[in-house]
């Protein structure tokens, strides 16, 4: 009676994904239902380079491996084309992520990236790119342990080849490449449940451009109101509430790095960024030319927006926020073909270190002000919606900033690492919702 037991759902065992569960049963990941570990640690030990498989995994005939050179505009374009036609869609197939070339360049080339971790599959005869998976290096802290991981993302197989079971071999091949560089852990996310999520977060949406969002059926007019009222109650103010808000500049990098490092210790899992990585994450995606060149409120090719709050008295950076642009194709809509979505990225505030700031609600108030300003910036850059997950300090502010609950969830996974569940949409082991997860995946 699988219906009663809910097994037929995403997380369950059923005919079709039994093969996948068989695949994951062979991988060093916690298996479903095994429960939290006594101690945090790896599942299988690291190996010297010579003990790692040296030959690529075999592909079905007619296909070949191809390392993608992300410095080559032509090859970035190939990845862009593959993803924009074949990548993640919602269940109704109404929206599909449309990562821009600039976005991919930003996401795939952080400091110390390995070109060997940008793994493609081509058709042997015509060299068409038909599958892709990527990893980028990151230093990750999970509770008390800090280690190198590969952040795995953009697993994509051409729609016509979904029956060829290329995904498991892509995962194995990128894992081999990661092992060859001496890294044995990974972090990744998925909308679907596979063995075994370390945390589950839910998407929330702050609606900005209501008429368009209703037109493309991103949201609906609730029974108890009209579009006119929906527009009114979601209207974004144009008055910034923090004093000293300005765009982050190169000269702020050290202060931002310092604030970020201290702030992120408050979460059970977070990345550790050095100065070069801070500059990459928050400054390298600002685009070309002047604000306005890429449309209202944007530079040409702008991917990230990072703002700091500078105390006018001390000139110290007290807060910062960032968000990135990730549009989606609105499938089959000619009037509004693109959904312009902003996603909340990292942020921090000195207020977090004031005594009792969380208990008294002071921190919540500060973030309502800081992230409220992020909404204004996004609104003025013509974004249609501003998205956030139930992670970091987001949970308490979502309601007051008029975010609505989304239908999407994001599962977080660790490869070859065991740890007890981290607080995402639900609290875990006394940790408040969100505070387990301090990693934003792109």
Partner 1 sequence: MPEFVENVSSSFSNASTYLSSVSSLSKVSAAIKLELYGLFKYVTMSSLPNTSRPSIFDLTGRAKWDAWNSAGTTYFRKQDAENRYIEIAKTLGWTEDSEVSDSKSQQPAEETTSDRGIVERVPDNGIEGMGVAVSTMARPAEFKEETLHGVAIRNDVQGLLFFLEKYPDADLNSRDEFGYTPLHLAADRGHLPIIQILVDRGVEIMIKDPDGFIAFELASIAGHDAIRELLSP
Residues in CB range of 291: below 8 A, 6 or more apart: 297, 298, 299
Choice from 117, 203, 260, 267 touching partner 1 (CB under 8 A)? 203
Q: Is 208 a catalytic residue?
A: no
Q: Which of 25, 36, 69, 311 binds partner 1 (CB under 8 A)?
A: 36
When binding is defined by CB under 8 A, the residue of 103, 218, 260, 273 that contacts partner 1 is: 218
Binder of partner 1 out of 225, 254, 275, 276 (CB under 8 A): 225
Give whole-number Cα distances, 426 to 9, 179, 264, 432, in Å: 20, 33, 19, 7
Site membership for partner 1, residue 314 (CB under 8 A)? no
Q: What part of residues 258-287 is at the interface with partner 1 (CB under 8 A)?
A: none
Interface residue with partner 1, options 29, 136, 207, 392 (CB under 8 A) = 207
Work out whether 190 is an interface residue with partner 1 (CB under 8 A).
Answer: yes
How far apart are alpha carbons 264 and 310 in whole angstroms? 20
Q: Do residues 213 and 341 touch, judged by C-beta distance below 8 A?
A: no
Site for partner 1 in 384-403 (CB under 8 A): 387
For residue 228, state whether it binds partner 1 (rule: CB under 8 A): yes
Site string for partner 1, 127-146 (x = CB under 8 A): ------x-------------
154 binds partner 1 (CB under 8 A): yes
Neighbours of 80 (CB within 10 A): 19
Omega before 222 cis (within 30°)? no
Does 22 bind partner 1 (CB under 8 A)? Our answer is no
Stretch that binds partner 1, among 44-52, 71-79, 119-127, 405-413 (CB under 8 A): 405-413
**On the CB side of 150, how many CA atoms lie within 13 Å of its CA?**
27
d(CA 42, CA 44): 6
Nearer to partner 1, 260 or 412 (CB): 412
CA–CA separation, 278 and 440 (whole Å): 14
- Which residues on neighbouring strands pair with residue 134, listed in sequence order? 118, 153
- Closest distance of CB 66 from partner 1, Å: 19
Q: Could you tell me the smallest distance in angstroms from the CB atom of residue 96 to partner 1?
A: 7
Q: What span, in angstroms and rounded, lies between the C-alpha atoms of 336 and 338? A: 6
Q: Could you tell me which residues come within 8 angstroms of residue 151 by beta carbon, excluding any fewer than 6 positions away?
A: 135, 136, 137, 138, 186, 187, 188, 441
Query: Which range touches partner 1 (CB under 8 A), out of 69-77, 204-212, 258-266, 299-307?
Result: 204-212
Query: Applying CB under 8 A, does 68 fall inside the site for partner 1?
Result: no
d(CA 170, CA 79): 15
- Give the nearer residue to partner 1 in terms of CB position, either 362 or 420: 420
Asked whether 399 and 184 are in contact (CB, 8 A), the reply is no
Query: From the list 59, 156, 309, 422, which residue makes contact with partner 1 (rule: CB under 8 A)?
Result: 156
Q: Is 38 in the site for partner 1 (CB under 8 A)?
A: no
Catalytic residue, candidates 104, 213, 259, 442: 442
Q: Which of residues 232-251 bind partner 1 (CB under 8 A)?
A: 232
Instruction: Calculate ∠ Cα 282-284-290, nearest 5°.
Output: 105
At closest approach, how far in Å is the CB of 409 from partner 1? Answer: 4
Name which position in 223, 238, 250, 313 contacts partner 1 (CB under 8 A).
223
Give catalytic residues, as residue numbers.
442
């Amino acid at each position: 009676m699988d219906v009663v037991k809910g097994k037929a759902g995403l997380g369950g065992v059923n005919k079709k994904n039994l093969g996948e569960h068989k695949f994951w049963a062979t991988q060093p990941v916690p298996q479903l239902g095994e429960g939290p570990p006594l101690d945090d640690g790896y599942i299988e030990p690291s190996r010297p380079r010579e003990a790692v498989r040296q030959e690529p995994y075999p592909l079905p005939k007619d296909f070949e491996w191809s390392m993608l050179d992300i410095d080559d505009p032509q090859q970035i374009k190939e990845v862009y084309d593959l993803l924009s036609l074949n990548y993640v869609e919602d269940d109704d197939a109404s929206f599909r992520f449309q990562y821009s070339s600039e976005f991919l360049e930003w996401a795939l080339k952080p400091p110390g990236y390995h070109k060997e971790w940008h793994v493609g599959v081509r058709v042997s005869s015509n060299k068409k790119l038909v599958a892709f998976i990527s990893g980028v290096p990151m230093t990750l802290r999970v509770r008390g342990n800090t280690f190198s991981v590969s952040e795995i993302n953009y697993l994509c197989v051409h729609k016509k080849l979904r029956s060829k079971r290329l995904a498991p071999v892509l995962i194995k091949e990128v894992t081999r490449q990661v092992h060859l560089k001496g890294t044995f852990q990974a972090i990744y996310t998925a909308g679907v449940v596979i063995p075994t999520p370390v945390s589950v977060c839910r998407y929330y949406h702050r609606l900005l451009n209501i008429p368009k969002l209703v037109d493309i059926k991103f949201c609906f007019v609730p029974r108890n109101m009209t579009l006119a009222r929906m527009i009114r109650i979601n209207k974004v103010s144009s008055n910034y509430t923090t004093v000293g808000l300005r765009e982050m500049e190169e000269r702020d990098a050290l202060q931002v790095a310092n604030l970020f490092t201290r702030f992120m210790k408050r979460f059970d899992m977070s990345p550790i960024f050095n100065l070069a990585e801070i500059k990459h994450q928050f400054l390298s995606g600002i685009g070309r030319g002047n604000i306005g060149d890429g449309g209202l409120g944007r530079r040409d090719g702008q991917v990230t927006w990072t703002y700091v709050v500078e105390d006018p008295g001390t000139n110290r950076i007290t807060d910062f926020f960032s968000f990135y642009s990730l549009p989606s194709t609105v499938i089959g809509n000619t009037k509004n073909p693109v959904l312009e979505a902003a996603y909340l990225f990292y942020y921090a505030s000195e207020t977090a270190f004031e005594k009792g700031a969380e208990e008294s609600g002071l921190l919540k108030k500060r973030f309502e002000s800081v992230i409220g300003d992020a909404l204004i910036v996004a609104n003025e850059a013509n974004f249609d919606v501003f998205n956030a997950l139930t992670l970091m300090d987001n949970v308490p502010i979502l309601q007051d900033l008029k975010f609505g609950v989304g239908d999407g969830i994001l599962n977080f996974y660790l490869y070859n690492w065991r740890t007890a569940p981290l607080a995402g949409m639900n609290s875990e082991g006394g940790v408040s919702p969100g505070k387990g997860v301090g990693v934003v995946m792109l």
